[in-house]
Structure 1
Amino acid sequence: MTVQNARGPLHDWNRNVARIVACADTPQLPAVLVSAIRDLVGFEHSVIFGYPPGRRPLFLFDGFSTAQKKSVIAPYLQRNYLDDPFFAACARAIDPGLYRMEDLTPDEAASETHPGYVSPCVSDSPGYLSEEIGFFARTDRGVYIVLSLMRPGDAPPFSAQEFATLEEIEPVVQSALARQWQTLGATGSPPQPTLGLSDYVEHSFRTFGRQVLTDREQEVAHLILRGHSSASLAAHLGISPATAKIHRKNIYAKLNISSQSELFALFIDGLSTVPSGGEPESRPNGTA
């Protein structure tokens, strides 16, 4: 009796997992991991950033050409990251997992500011990409490692089946990312012995702007930081959209800023002042 060696759909993935394990803790791991994922689901661009709490993102790996890298990475690290829903999600201590960027994008930014898909990392031109999705991993030090996969504007977004396939391999991807950069943030960002990362973030949300904002304005500011538009603010608080916009305008005026990106920058600045073993310090500009 002859037994055929039938190969199941995960045969190639299992072989790639063996390669991933063999490359653990080596410089080859990111490229091997990205290649293994591409064997299952196609995409054009890939990039990995580290997001230490209270600090600018760290560039870790990319699949761009040299010209693309020069044109997109530096602007992102200098300023554009403040408009990135992935960065915002890490700052509010999102659960590790796989996410579509559109599901993390404030509805106001998606419908009013950016008609069409954009990526703060690659381009602010609507339609440059059809979609970006990200694997979110978190190290024991509270540093997020995010692997983004992108498709160009002339390609279809990731289908439900493709996303489901990526969700199946997400535990392996997350583990590989967290292990590869487990010591990231060791210098200057030691683990806090008293409170966890999520505790610091929640404390900062609760106290943000308390020196200059009214209780109602603080509540509105918290919701803006969580990605709410004027319309969703109104629905959440039971007020009119016009009143929500007035609150937003007053908040910006009191904090001497003019945009949601600047509001978020103030919040991140507050996170970066957390002393070792204690609570975030009060800031004279109204941030916690």
Structure 2
Amino acid sequence: MQRFPFPSRDALSSSVFDLAQWLRLEASLIDTIGQPEFPARLLQALFAAVPIDTAFIVAHAPGQPPLMLEEGRVLPARREEVHRYLAGPYLLDPVHLACVEGRRQGLVRLADIAPDQFQESEYYRNFYASHGLADEVNILIGLERAGGIALSMGRIASHGAFAPEELAVLASIEPLVAAAARRHWAAEAVSGDGAGQALHAQLERAFNRFGGDCLTDREAEVARLILRGHSSKSVAHELAISADTVRVHRKNIHAKLGISSQGELFSLFLAAIATPGTA
């Protein structure tokens, strides 16, 4: 598959996206709808529009683990991370939650759908910052059967975040990209099998019971929200309690679990979902 080199920042600042030219060059994308090569061709069209370092396509359906639809554009350094994500940590992923709950569609930045302290969370450190990812944008596409598809596009730190003009380019092509994706996956199953449903149910039970052997129900709720990147203020808003009460709960959580940091809390979460059948 053709690879699109990352242009210099000078070249980027002096270039002007030509939508008409892009449509002429990428019109063949429509011809691949319903064909096996469509997912890879879809990412190729995105790479032709703006500079992207890493990208993949994932289906998110209620009651199912995420299903990888295309990973040919994932940076080698991120492949292991992506597969670790699919094994259970996706339960903390704001993209997964947004698709399953149908809260957002169209072009969104991670900051648009993530909790207020997501970038301070251990999940973010483990699945974004640890491999030098500086920015991520997603095209979220809802499906009639519920759930949706996320076209995730990332930039590494050395290339900087997506610039406003690049986001404008992606926004300009999003309607065609989303329409083509809906047409392609309308007749193709994008959910897993019965085994996937069973695994997801076990993972969700493990997550919902996290800390339940020693935490109160409210403390367990607070712990789950902290794991998803909520600040004390955001937790207070979600649970309709005071920030002072949240701080007391956090202190109790640390004491009861024998931990002193969010990193240790995240490690306990990973251990809990590693053996979901025993939770």
- In which range does the TM-score fall when normalised by the shorter chain? 0.5 to 0.7
Distance 2:117 2:108 in 1: 19
Distance (Å, rounded) in 2 between the aligned partners of 1:229 and 1:260: 19
Post-superposition shift, 1:217?
Answer: 7.4
In the TM superposition, residue 34 of structure 1 has moved relative to its aligned partner by 1.6
Question: In the TM superposition, what whole-angstrom CA distance separates every residue of 1:188-209 from its partner, at most 9, and x where no partner exists?
Answer: 59xxxxxxxxxxxxxxxxxx99
Letter in 2 for 1:35: Q
1:246 alignment partner AA: V
The 8 Å contact of residues 84 and 119 in structure 1, kept in 2 or not, is answered as no
Residue 185 of structure 1: aligned partner: 191
Counterpart in the other structure of 2:243: 240
Gaps of 5+ in 1: 1-7, 190-207, 270-284
Highest relative contact order (Cα 8 Å, sep 6+), 1 or 2?
2
**What does residue 52 of structure 1 align with?**
61
Q: CA deviation at 1:124?
A: 4.9
* Residue 18 of structure 2: aligned partner: 9
- The structural deviation recorded for 1:98 is 1.1
Deviations, residues 48-103 of structure 1 (Å, cap 9, x unaligned): 11111121111110234684465233212113323322123223322221111133
Deviates more, 1:91-100 or 1:219-228: 219-228
Task: Evaluate the alpha carbon distance shift between residue 102 and residue 49 of structure 1 in structure 2; reply closer, same or farther with a 3 A threshold.
Answer: same
Percent sequence identity over matched residues? 34
Hey, what does 1:43 align to over in structure 2? 52
My pick for the range that moved more, 139-148 or 244-253, is 244-253
Once the two structures are superposed, the pairs formed by residues 28-107 of structure 1 within 5 Å of their partners are: 28-64=37-73, 67-68=76-77, 70-107=79-116
Distance in 1 (alpha carbons) for counterparts of 2:72 and 2:126: 16
2:232 and 2:247 in contact (8 A); partners too: yes
CA drift at 1:187: 5.7
Look up the equivalent residue of 2:231 and give its one-letter code. S
Instruction: Supply the AA of the counterpart residue of 2:72.
Output: G
Q: CA RMSD in A?
A: 3.9
The number of aligned residues is 232
Cα distance in 2 between the residues matched to 1:259 and 1:68: 22
Gaps of 5+ in 2: 1-16, 196-207, 257-264
Deviation sequence 1:16-61 (CA, Å, 0-9, x none): 4521111101112122222222222111111111111121111110
Aligned AA for 1:107?
D
Structure having the larger proportion of residues in helix: 2
Q: Match of 2:134?
A: 130
SS of residue matched to 2:130: coil
Change (3 A) 1:162 1:75: same
Q: Which residue of the other structure, out of 230, 237, 255, is the alignment partner of 1:228? A: 230
- TM-score of the superposition, structure 2-length normalised? 0.66
Shift, 1:245, TM fit? 3.1
After superposition, the Cα gap between the structure-2 partners of 1:176 and 1:225, relative to the gap in structure 1 and judged at 3 Å, is farther
Give the 3-state SS of the residue equivalent to 1:107 in structure 2: coil
Q: Letter of the aligned partner of 1:240 in structure 2?
A: A
Cα deviation, 1:189-237, whole Å, max 9, x if unaligned, reads 9xxxxxxxxxxxxxxxxxx99xx99997799689769863212234674
One-letter amino acid matched to 1:125 = S
Distance 1:149 1:261 in 2: 30
